[in-house]
Amino acid sequence: MIPARFTRFSRIAGPAAIGLCTIYFGAGSAIAETPDTTAPPTTTAETTAAPQVDCEIVAADVDGGTATFTVGPDGCSTQVGPISFSTYALPTGQILPYEDQVLIAHAAGNGSLWGAGSHTLTASLGTALNWQADLYFGESADQPPHPNMIAVDAQTGQVAATPCGIVDSDVESGTATFTVGPEGCTGEVGPISFSTYELPSGQILPYEEQVLIAHAAGNGSSYGAGTHTLTASLGSALNWQADLYFGVSDDQPPHPNMIDVDAQTGVVATTTTAPATTAPATTAPATTAPATTAPATTAPEIEVASLSPTVSVAAPTVSVAVNANVVVAPAAQTPTTTTTTTTTPPVQTLPQTGSSTPGLVGIGGALTMLGWVVVRLARRAPGLST
């Protein structure tokens, strides 16, 4: 008879033993069935080299006088080049024809080789208004085109802006006006100043005797396109000069860069005198008596010859008739005496005014004298006396 204690142990130990045996033999079987995943050791001969990648330009850009480019891809082992960057002026304002382009500058490092990474080249554009900037494969080239161009930038068709200048100006005593132009010009003009000076001698020269009166506010400023005005006092100066000029305020003329000028010279100070009061002249109307003109009395022009005709006194021939035919010789004849005609000059014309009585008296006297002369002549003639 098996004790109950043993029986209880057998009941427990039996199944336990069977379970342990099952776990043991199952584990061993599982170990035997697991594959070996450990990689076998490699040898140098069996190692494969990584593939080599050549470098190339993967990005590029030109902006004015600056060129940037990237060599890649990352990890590439070769170099790219030679690479150059150059700028050219375009005198015609256009890219073509290429032969008209003029070299401005080559970038430093032109013709170099470049490995992986980003790189920058620069070249001046100078003062060119129209230009072309070329990034290209190859050594520095003075004349486009480039057979292996990478990137390019250009500015064409630009017209030079007109710089501003003084196109008109005027000074009128203490005011100066000036115009900066032409319209649309660029930049400013200046510095510009306006000043006035007294002339103690009454004349512009000598300059060293001129005395500053005033400077305009804003003297020495620069001005853009448009019309501008500056003013300066003349004080109480009788003689003065007003100068618009380039430069800052100047206390003493002359100015080397004069724009415009006005001046007053030779004025003399006058003494204030009360104006003379002159009574208006009263002129009596001229009274002119009517001219009374006596009728001109002209003594008649008397010709003695007309009053006393030439008298020829000759003894008459006497013929005595006798019964006999006796011819008596005529008595000796007295030669004919011819009286010379005397012409009395014309009597002077009497004045227009006064009495005509003296004239008549003169005429009467002349006639009386003439009669006396005729009588005397007649008496002297032979044969006429009684």
144 forms beta bridges with: none
24-66: pLDDT as tens digits: 444 444 444 445 555 555 544 445 566 789 999 999 999 999 9
pLDDT at 364: 75
Segment 334-345 shows an average pLDDT of 47
pLDDT at 319: 45
pLDDT at 36: 53
If pLDDT is split at 50, 70 and 90, which confidence band does 268 have?
very high
In 3D space, the residue among 333, 170, 164, 137 whose CA is nearest the CA of residue 261 turns out to be 170
pTM over 0.85: no
Strands of the chain (E only): list them: 56-63, 66-72, 80-89, 102-106, 112-114, 117-122, 131-137, 149-155, 165-172, 175-181, 189-198, 211-215, 221-223, 226-231, 240-246, 258-264
10 or 96, greater pLDDT: 96
Q: What 3-state DSSP class applies to 155?
A: strand
pLDDT at 285: 52
Q: Is the pLDDT of residue 257 over 90?
A: yes
If pLDDT is split at 50, 70 and 90, which confidence band does 374 have?
confident
281 or 117, greater pLDDT: 117
Show me where the domains of the chain are located.
Answer: 56-155, 165-264
Under DSSP, the state recorded for 100 is: G
Residues 6+ apart with CB under 8 A from 302: 344, 347, 363, 366, 367, 370
CATH class of 56-155: mainly beta
Q: Name residue, tokens 């030679």.
A: 82
pLDDT at 283: 55
User: How far, CA to CA in Å, does 153 sit from each of 44, 130, 137, 239, 268?
Assistant: 54, 11, 16, 65, 73
Structure tokens that stand for 268 in this block:
């003399």
138-168: pLDDT as tens digits: 999 999 999 999 999 999 999 988 999 999 9
